[in-house]
Structure 1
Amino acid sequence: MSARKLHLAVAQLGPVQRSDTRAQVVRRLIELLEDAHSRGAAWVTFPELALTTFFPRWSLDDPADVQAFFETEMPGPLTRPLFDAAREKGIGFYLGYAELADGTQYNTSILVGRDGGIVGKYRKIHIPGDAQARDGAALQHLEKKYFAVGDLGFPVWQTPDAAIGMCICNDRRWPETFRVMGLQGVEVVMAGYNTPSGYVQWDEPIHLRMHHHLLSLQAGAYQNACWVAAAAKAGVEEGNPMIGGSCIVAPTGEIMVRAFSEDDEVINFVCDLSVSEHYRANIFNFAAHRRPEHYGMIVERTGARPPA
């Protein structure tokens, strides 16, 4: 199989504090996009909720306080410069943000083509955390309080460069996320995340945060014969540390490049998309080897329960 090359970049963001304005954050995104372009990248992945601090760490009840974190249009006046820069440079991007649409709040990402136009939209499906604050918890994770479950499924878009899909943060931990896109022939999965170093639900050793993050990406890439470009918002944000670990993973499951810091940083890699074709023609030839008649329990049951 002849090589099909696609130059991908991942733009990790350092912390975004609550006092940072949209204009300030967009300026940082543009600088990262320009850095990626200067290296020859055709597409760049930005993090989840890239435009603001990770506000689900707080229990906010004033609607005005909450809606200040949400976008009602994309692009809007403050985000349009990023789209203009992408069009000028001819580079596409993934951007995560909080979306308010017809009165419903979503954790959303968009795929923007190299012409600056929106190619597609994804809304986060696997919403973690709690719907109300936990008494006595040192840290809160309240995504269920602020976001509805996404209603757009896991689509894949055939761009001129590759078949690209999206997911957001906790989605990467669920094999169904990658498999649904894998069944659509996805070649590149872009994922943004904001993952705390400490965990609030149970006393888990901190080192497992990074281990599970990378394990999920590597398994998803390998088992679905796709490249994965994952971008963190990292560092100490409003006193709360978040992991970095932004990376690009090959269909072999190998990490080809990984961020060094927990600050604003661009990483890039020239990906050979034909590697996916090799795996899809052999060990992960879905048409030859999958047996969906035995997978019914996956869609019929949500919680686990012991055998009868």
Structure 2
Amino acid sequence: MEMKIATVQFAPVLGNIEATIAKLGSLLEEADEADLVVLPELANSGYAFSSREEAWSLSERVEESHFLSFLKEECRKHQFAIATGFNERSHDKLFNSAVLLDADGVIGTYRKAHLFLNEKDIFEPGDTGFPVFSLGEVRVGMLICFDWVFPEAWRIMGLKGADIVCHPSNLVLPGLAQRTVPAHAVTNRYYVALANRIGQEKDLTFTGNSLICGTKGEILAEAEATTEQLLITTIDPLQARDKSLTKRNNWLQDRRPELYRNEGLTD
């Protein structure tokens, strides 16, 4: 089973959704052959908010989002699905979220579990857990940026049967996540599509180097550090369901979960 997966590396325009949409329109034209496209973290708003009030003013509800309506139309036009970072307003709360959608609408939402730096002053910690969604025959999970540090999140995706993990990001620590994410791919035997952004906002410089990893941790495609760039590559998502490492070792069967609990740990 073949599918084409793409990442869009670009710089959303802080506080100007129309300018961001204009940028994305041309980049998504280049992704016309893709089946699944991954966009960066907080793609609808930008990142470096001066206050929670500013973040609130730039947020949208999933059910009433101009940005997601634009992406849904792009999905219909190009016949692909999109995973995008999203500044989500829900009742009186803000979440740093990722949304998976296609031409029929929203498939699922993940809310970022592990908040980074000043995000803790703006967003609520995610409350969705780590869901895996069906995209036709393919099982798709989503994690966001700083989640890269926490192997538990990546392992849960594997245990829930993810074939692909989409990783919308606004990375600012050079090289760390880009070195670590391939290890998550190989230790869980699935594909990962890391869509990072570029550019500067206030005192933050984003590191680019988006990448797509195979089930052996190999880099299938990698972007440059400072340029807007589309990556696209062909994968076989069903390869992620083969957990055999050798003729006598299987990633699932060799696990020893009875040893992983209560080893003097408090949580």
- Cα distance 1:110–1:186, how it changes in 2: closer, same or farther (>3 A)? same
Pick the aligned partner of 1:122 from 106, 110, 114: 110
SS in 1 for 2:220: strand
Pick the aligned partner of 1:35 from 12, 30, 45: 30
CA distance in 1, matches of 2:40, 2:207: 12
SS in 1 for 2:241: helix
Q: Does 1:44 align with 2:72?
A: no
Query: What amino acid is the match of 2:45?
Result: T
Aligned pairs, number:
265
Pick the aligned partner of 1:288 from 227, 247, 253: 253
Pick the aligned partner of 1:12 from 3, 9, 16: 9
- In structure 1, runs of 5+ residues without a counterpart are 130-141, 198-208, 303-308
CA distance in 2, matches of 1:161, 1:230: 21
C-alpha displacement at 1:157, in angstroms?
Answer: 1.1
TM-score normalised by the chain length of structure 2: 0.91
Structure 1 counterpart of 2:184: 220
What is the CA deviation profile of residues 163-213 of structure 1, one whole-angstrom value per residue up to 9, with x for unaligned ones?
Answer: 10000001122111110010011110001111225xxxxxxxxxxx21x21
CA distance in 2, matches of 1:227, 1:44: 14
Structure 1 counterpart of 2:16: 21
C-alpha displacement at 1:31, in angstroms?
Answer: 2.0
Pick the aligned partner of 2:157 from 181, 184, 193: 181
Q: Does 1:272 align with 2:260?
A: no
- In structure 2, runs of 5+ residues without a counterpart are none
Alignment of 1:168-207 (within 5 A): 168-197=144-173
C-alpha displacement at 1:298, in angstroms?
Answer: 8.2
CA distance in 1, matches of 2:84, 2:192: 15
More strand as a share of residues? 2
SS in 2 for 1:55: coil
* Residues 55 and 69 in structure 1, CA contact (< 8 A), matched pair in contact too: no
* Residues 197 and 208 in structure 2, CA contact (< 8 A), matched pair in contact too: yes
Structure 2 counterpart of 1:240: 204
Q: Which runs of 4+ in 1 moved over 6 A?
A: none
Cα RMSD after superposing both structures: 2.1
What is the CA deviation profile of residues 253-292 of structure 1, one whole-angstrom value per residue up to 9, with x for unaligned ones?
Answer: 01111012523210111012243233x1345734421111
Query: What amino acid is the match of 1:157?
Result: F
Query: What amino acid is the match of 2:9?
Result: Q
SS in 1 for 2:66: coil
* Residues 112 and 119 in structure 1, CA contact (< 8 A), matched pair in contact too: yes
C-alpha displacement at 1:299, in angstroms?
Answer: 11
Pick the aligned partner of 2:87 from 87, 98, 120: 98
Structure 2 counterpart of 1:204: none
Query: What amino acid is the match of 2:26?
Result: E
Structure 2 counterpart of 1:259: 223
Query: What amino acid is the match of 1:95?
Result: T
CA distance in 1, matches of 2:143, 2:264: 19
Q: Is the deviation greater in 171-180 or in 237-246?
A: 237-246
Query: What amino acid is the match of 1:66?
Result: A
Structure 1 counterpart of 2:57: 68
C-alpha displacement at 1:79, in angstroms?
Answer: 4.1
Query: What amino acid is the match of 1:26?
Result: I
TM-score normalised by the chain length of structure 1: 0.80
C-alpha displacement at 1:214, in angstroms?
Answer: 1.7
CA distance in 2, matches of 1:84, 1:6: 21
Query: What amino acid is the match of 2:17?
Result: R
Structure 2 counterpart of 1:139: none
Structure 2 counterpart of 1:203: none
What is the CA deviation profile of residues 200-252 of structure 1, one whole-angstrom value per residue up to 9, with x for unaligned ones?
Answer: xxxxxxxxx21x21222111100111000010111223353110010100011
CA distance in 2, matches of 1:29, 1:74: 21
CA distance in 1, matches of 2:161, 2:20: 34
Structure whose CA Rg is larger: 1
Seq. identity, % = 27
